[in-house]
Amino acid sequence: MEERVVVVDDDAISLRIVKRIFDRAGIEGRYLHSGKDLDAYLRKGMLPDLFLLDIYMPDANGFDLLKHIHTDPVYRNVPVIFLTGDDDVKTEAAGLHAGAADFIRKPFAAEVLLKRVHNTIELTRLHNDMAQEIRAKTEKLSRAYLQIVEALAASVDAKDTYTHGHSSRVAAYSREIARRAGFSEAEQDSIFMMGILHDVGKIGIQDAIINKEGRLTDEEFAAIKTHPAMGAEILGHIADYPELAIGARWHHERYDGRGYPDGLAGDDIPEVARIIAVADSYDAMTSNRSYRDAMAQDVVRAEIARCSGGQFDPRFANIMLQMIDEDAEYTMKEV
């Protein structure tokens, strides 16, 4: 593969020597006399394999140019080698600390210049190829992980004859609330996973209780109330993702402290669980259940507003109300 190198040096003789060496070796070179020339080159967006910079030049030194190159997102991964007549070890150490890949001292031998240029380019290409392969494998693993999680959630949802896609909708609503609340993308992805798995504990509840038409007995309701703790226990075995258990255990806590299983209140309830609590209740009201049909949108809105500060954190309840108000066609419901 052809190698492309940009050389910046205010010494015309040095540039000619480098050009002669590169031409003989078949290296495509771009030869510039100043930092101003380099700036003009960078604005064109052309991507070389390497920058070869002289340290001492009248308008800008090599350290300034190195910083300029590596703060540009287009060029930040392109390696830089300093070309200098300076024998000061402190200068070399400062350059390496600033991000230079190597130093070549003048006067230089052609074979030394070519070897160091070639090795630096090859090492950078190898690093980039490995990084790309790691990203591809990570994305593949992430997709597989999501598919496994969705399959597990679907198996839980399937226990309820009357609801379909509840966990996925709760996850989507939770992520949107988190996004509007200013959570980072990584935090939004995390809460999405927690939302999908928030009801996983129901896998241990009898189908007859989950699908019972009419009012539950005290014993049956007590059985239902065990699913948050069971879900947290199940998910707690996933050592690499301990946060998954948070949504499962505390999504039925209430802001006023009257929820279960632990009776937490206010800020003692993890934020993500407070978000999932709103999303979960919203989807429950907008879905068909064994004991009733989905509620009308205005009734759902009124209930969210009424429970703000009691059942729900007012901050996240208000975001849910905004989402409802924007949903003029009432699409946020079980289809």
Catalytic annotation, residues: 202
Q: Give strand pairing partners of 29.
A: 5
How far out from the chain centre does Cα 123 lie? Answer: 28
Residue type at 28?
E
230 and 261 in contact (C-beta within 8 Å)?
no
Residue 23, C-beta contacts closer than 8 angstroms, at least 6 positions apart: 29
* Calculated CA dihedral for residues 8, 13, 17, 18, nearest 10 degrees: 0
Residue 237, C-beta contacts closer than 8 angstroms, at least 6 positions apart: none
Q: d(Cα 62, Cα 38) in Å, to the nearest integer?
A: 11
SS3 percent helix, strand, coil of the chain, rounded to 5, is 55, 10, 35
Find tokens 């069971």 and name the residue: 230
